[in-house]
């Protein structure tokens, strides 16, 4: 019986993984420039963390989590997103007491959601995200957004659209909440069961419903912008001002509602405008989540962050026709003939690698012509030819694959000679 890969997962093979590595490396380099440090959290956590932190009215908690009971009878969940885990670590490890504030962190790793697989969306997917904890300055909202935008742009993406909104502070959200209840309640029976359940618990989530998004009441629903108090308006205006100073174009969309309960004030999404990218255009989403740390037992701590899917990042690169993964090839391929030469090449290969060169040799007992073909496939810059006769005479032939020039070099000075070539 053959065993196949689980639905909604993927194998990332050589030839494809190099692009992943390139994106990951670019993300790490950018975080270093912005002074965000890496944090690594467990792949599974206590289920309560996500039901309290993400929100028990969200689709993630209600429908998409991979939850299991461990041998001790405890409910555990494979992490569906990264923010709750990062904030849990921030609280548990008392990072709010560190001298360096705000605490700026980034993470990268697999997340798990049981949802219908489709283009660029998997049940196991890799997320990169950043979190800035401890500052209420709207300038850091703009910084977080700029980091995400710059990552996409530095990888070559051009057809991007940033949309932003304000969800307001607690007072503004309460006023908007009551207006939403009054708006939807008379006809809530026309909506799906999820929306009916959310009416009193979290009516803002109704606006994020995919099933009823074309209902006429959705188009006339009260806008949060109309319920922002003066403090929330001033905050949102500052965010927009700072984005302008950073030369980042944006659109204000009062209907933008992030799918997690912990958001307030700034909310944003980065979308792809590339032709043929697909119906789901969102590449990245994030926002401010003041109150999340308190929700999971920590002190009052403002925070903001974003998360993006590497899979959707790659899909956007392909949609724009951007070729970024380049096979740079290897420095040297050892072509060997004869048993004694093959034995000797084992140590010689190690010497090359320890000297800092990428090098390979034949392991299939191929003839010299086939070994040269293998060197071509590896884009070797040089091929070093060693046979039993060369070994007896303490020489090795080095061929420049770009020019075709070939020279004879003393075997005991081969590595030193090769170092001079670079």
What is the chain's pLDDT, residue by residue, as a tens digit (422 residues)? 789 999 999 999 998 999 999 999 999 999 999 999 999 999 999 999 998 877 766 778 878 999 999 999 999 999 999 999 999 999 999 999 999 999 999 999 999 999 888 777 899 999 999 999 999 999 999 999 999 999 999 999 999 999 999 989 888 888 888 888 889 888 888 888 888 888 877 787 788 777 888 888 888 888 888 889 999 999 999 999 999 999 999 999 988 876 555 678 999 999 998 887 776 789 999 999 988 999 889 999 999 999 999 999 999 999 999 987 667 899 999 999 999 999 999 999 999 999 999 999 999 999 999 999 999 999 999 999 999 999 999 999 999 999 999 999 999 999 999 898 87
Q: How many CB atoms lie within 10 A of CB 191?
A: 20
The domain segmentation of the chain, as residue ranges, is 17-169+229-319, 332-421
Q: How far apart are CA 414 and CA 167, in angstroms?
A: 66
Identify the three-state secondary structure at position 421.
helix
In CATH, the number for domain 332-421 is 3.40.50.800
pLDDT of residue 99: 95
Look at residues 255, 230, 258 and name the one whose alpha carbon lies nearest to residue 180: 255
Residue by residue, DSSP assigns 116-132 as --BTTB-SEEEEEEEEE
CATH assignment of 17-169+229-319, given 3.30.930.10, 3.90.1750.10, 3.40.640.10, 3.40.50.2300? 3.30.930.10
Which tokens go with 161? 């659209």
Q: How many CB atoms lie within 10 A of CB 131?
A: 28
Residues linked to residue 186 through DSSP beta bridges, in sequence order: none
């Amino acid at each position: 019986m053959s065993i196949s890969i689980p639905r909604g997962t993927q194998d990332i093979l050589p030839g494809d993984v190099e692009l992943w590595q390139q994106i990951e490396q670019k993300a790490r380099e950018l975080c270093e420039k912005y002074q965000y440090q890496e944090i690594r959290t467990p792949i599974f956590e206590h289920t309560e963390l996500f039901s309290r932190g993400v929100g028990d009215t969200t689709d993630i908690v209600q429908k998409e989590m991979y939850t299991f009971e461990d041998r001790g009878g405890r409910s555990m969940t494979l992490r569906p997103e990264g923010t709750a885990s990062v904030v849990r670590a921030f609280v548990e490890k008392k990072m709010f007491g560190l001298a360096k504030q705000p605490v700026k962190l980034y993470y990268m790793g697999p997340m798990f959601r049981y949802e219908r697989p489709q283009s660029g969306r998997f049940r196991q997917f890799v997320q990169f995200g950043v979190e800035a904890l401890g500052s209420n300055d709207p300038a850091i909202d703009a910084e977080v957004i700029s980091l995400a935008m710059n990552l996409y742009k530095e990888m070559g993406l051009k057809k991007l659209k940033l949309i932003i909104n304000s969800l307001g502070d607690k007072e503004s959200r309460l006023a908007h909440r009551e207006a939403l209840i009054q708006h939807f309640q008379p006809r809530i029976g026309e909506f799906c069961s999820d929306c009916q359940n959310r009416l009193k618990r979290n009516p803002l989530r109704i606006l994020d419903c995919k099933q009823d998004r074309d209902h006429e009441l959705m188009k006339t629903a009260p806008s949060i912008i109309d319920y922002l108090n003066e403090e929330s308006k001033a905050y949102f205006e500052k965010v927009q001002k700072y984005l302008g100073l950073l030369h980042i174009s944006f659109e204000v969309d009062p209907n933008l509602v992030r799918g997690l309960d912990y958001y307030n004030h700034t909310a944003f999404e980065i979308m792809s405008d590339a032709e043929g990218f697909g119906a789901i255009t969102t590449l990245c989403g994030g926002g401010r989540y003041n109150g999340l740390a308190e929700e999971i037992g920590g002190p009052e701590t403002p925070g903001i962050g974003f998360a993006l899917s590497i899979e959707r990042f790659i899909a956007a690169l392909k949609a724009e026709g951007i070729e970024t993964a380049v096979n740079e090839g290897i420095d040297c391929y050892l072509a060997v003939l004869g048993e004694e030469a093959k034995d000797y090449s084992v140590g010689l290969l190690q010497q090359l690698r320890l000297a800092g060169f990428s090098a390979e040799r034949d392991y299939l007992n191929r003839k010299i012509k086939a070994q040269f073909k293998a060197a071509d496939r590896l884009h070797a810059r040089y091929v070093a030819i060693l046979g039993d006769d060369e070994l007896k005479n303490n020489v090795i032939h080095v061929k420049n694959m770009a020019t075709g020039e070939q020279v004879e070099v003393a075997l005991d000075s081969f590595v030193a000679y090769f170092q001079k070539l670079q």
